[in-house]
Amino acid sequence: MIKMPDGKLFIGGEWETGTGEEIVSIFPADGSINCSLYGASKDDGLRAIKLAKSAQSQPSWRSLKPHERARYLYAIADGIEANIDRISQIQTRDTGKTLRETAILASSASGTFRYFGALLESSDDLLTAQRNDSLTMSVHEPLGLVTAITPWNSPIASDAQKVAPALAAGNAVLLKPSSWSPLVSLELARIVESAGLPKGIFSVLPGSGHEIGGLLVDHPDISKVTFTGSTKTGRSLAIKAAKKLMPISLELGGKSPVIVFKDSDIDIAIAGVMFGIFSSTGQSCIAGSRLFVQRDIYNEFVERLVKATKKLKVGSPYNLDTQVSTMIHPQHRDSVAAYVDLARNEGANILCGGESPSGAEYKKGAYYLPTIITEVDNSAQICREEVFGPVLVVMPFDDEADVIEQANENEYGLACGIWTNDFPKAWRVGRAINAGTVWVNTYKQFSISTPFGGEKNSGIGREKGRNGIRAFMSQKSLYFDLTGNSHPWAEI
């Protein structure tokens, strides 16, 4: 077992004990305590903001040439890569995710820093088309101080997706991780520190969302907030941002439809549907939680899906063959169970799961079995709201028009999966669905070079891709006179 972080916070480049509320990180597979720490208070936050402001305004950060700043991003990428095992173990302890998954997340975080370093070095500013006697250009500059607020479900990956482009842009970054998973972000701080960034450019401030999170949004020196989390919290932060006229990007919840047409390869579709909902124990914003199966194959498909789901290995995140691990916290498991109970009481058919597994090895953990529910209408609460657990609702559909209407009849618009061998149909349906990402004959595939984000209540803005750094910069236009003449308007 690796040694857990000591619980100190990274405030303005120094390791300190927080002066806010106590946070206890638990290993949700058995309830044992990983570490207890004191979160950041408002005073800690104010100090971090002051130090960030001073550090960001120094030429040693702000005026670095792109290739010089990129070196820091490469050093962070190398640091993550050299510590994948440690990061993966910490995140598994903190979240209950399988070691296999957390190693992939750590490796992708390293790739994210490397990608944004390379993008930084290779991005050009614009010489705009000349329309008069001036040389005209458009350049990009850092915004200043960026607050990044992240959730608990994939902390190292969400942290990297925000911190890497915001640093690349030349900002100082104040990272506020979830109170349920503070440890891996603090580990990221150790790596950033080893990469030699100027003190104050990066702080990690776990603590109460309301208190420290609120300060890091409200404070007048904060120039942008990038948030990933629930729609409810995101909406409240958007209102605050509007009052300050501050840009905010929001990566929020989802209730993603997955559509299986009768002409799909059924075996491949069943495996893809299960991965889409049950991997990460369903605690994924893009979980394919609403399944629509064409009526002609509905009965056969559901029967085979249930049979395969019952075979999934539910167990400790340390077992290499575990497919469905514990949930993040007993409280969250109870909220997932309450959704299923509600559907049951409203007459839904629970075809498998619908309870915690029995057996001594599950007793102390926050486990819940992969659950498949039928006989529900698309307007039922379990079909409308994000459950954020291993719970799939299945509904039949008749034709393209019917499934497009049902899939879009939801307040979210994050992702969609389409299973078919008819590619013109996949194109038509994919373009008609309100979603930021559409997967065809695959699901939950990611690439840092491909933008990600949601429509409707799933968010505002895009992360990743070639515009990722520009989202953390402001654009400035410059006009240089080419004539040397005085302006004809006034004779001197």
Q: Does 69 bind ligand NAP (CB under 6 A)?
A: no
Q: Which residue reads 């349920």 in tokens?
A: 180
Q: Does 159 bind ligand NAP (CB under 6 A)?
A: no
How do beta strands 349-352 and 371-374 pair? Answer: antiparallel
Q: Using CB under 6 A, which residues numbered 170 to 209 contact ligand NAP?
A: 176-180, 208-209
Task: Cite the DSSP H helix spans in 229-315.
Answer: 231-244, 266-278, 298-310
**173 or 297, CB closer to ligand NAP?**
173
Whether residue 285 lies in the annotated active site: yes
| Tokens, residue 320 | 């290499």
**462 or 470, CB closer to ligand NAP?**
462
Q: Which residue reads 């300050």 in tokens?
A: 244
Side-chain-side CA neighbours of residue 61 (13 Å): 27
Q: Which of 18, 20, 28, 213 binds ligand NAP (CB under 6 A)?
A: 213
Q: Please, what's the b/e burial string for 360-380 (b: 16 or more CB within 10 A of its CB; e: otherwise)?
A: eebeebbbbbbbbbbebebeb
| Tokens, residue 91 | 């995140």
**301 or 388, CB closer to ligand NAP?**
388
Active-site annotation holder among 101, 187, 251, 386: 251
Q: Using CA atoms, how far apart are residues 98 and 106, in angstroms rounded to an integer?
A: 12
As measured in angstroms, the least distance from the Cβ of 209 to ligand NAP is 2
Whether residue 463 lies in the annotated active site: yes
Q: Does 246 bind ligand NAP (CB under 6 A)?
A: no
**246 or 426, CB closer to ligand NAP?**
246
Virtual torsion, Cα 332, 437, 84, 167, nearest 10 deg: -100
How do beta strands 257-260 and 415-419 pair? Answer: parallel
Give the SS3 label for residue 446.
Answer: coil
Q: Using CB under 6 A, which residues numbered 367 to 386 contact ligand NAP?
A: 386
Q: Which helix (H) or strand (E) holds 33?
A: strand 32-38
Q: Which of 152, 261, 278, 301 binds ligand NAP (CB under 6 A)?
A: 152
As measured in angstroms, the least distance from the Cβ of 39 to ligand NAP is 8
Tell me the DSSP string of 219-250: -TTEEEEEEES-HHHHHHHHHHHHHHT--EEE
Q: Using CB under 6 A, which residues numbered 399 to 428 contact ligand NAP?
A: 414
Q: Which of 45, 117, 165, 229 binds ligand NAP (CB under 6 A)?
A: 229
As measured in angstroms, the least distance from the Cβ of 38 to ligand NAP is 13
Q: How many residues bind ligand NAP (CB under 6 A)?
A: 33
Whether residue 162 lies in the annotated active site: yes
Q: Which residues contact 485 (CB under 8 A, 6 or more apart)?
A: none
Q: Which of 257, 454, 465, 468 binds ligand NAP (CB under 6 A)?
A: 454
Residues that bind ligand NAP (CB under 6 A): 149-153, 158, 176-180, 208-210, 213-214, 217, 228-230, 233, 236-237, 251-254, 285, 386, 388, 414, 454, 459
The catalytic residues are 162, 251, 285, 463
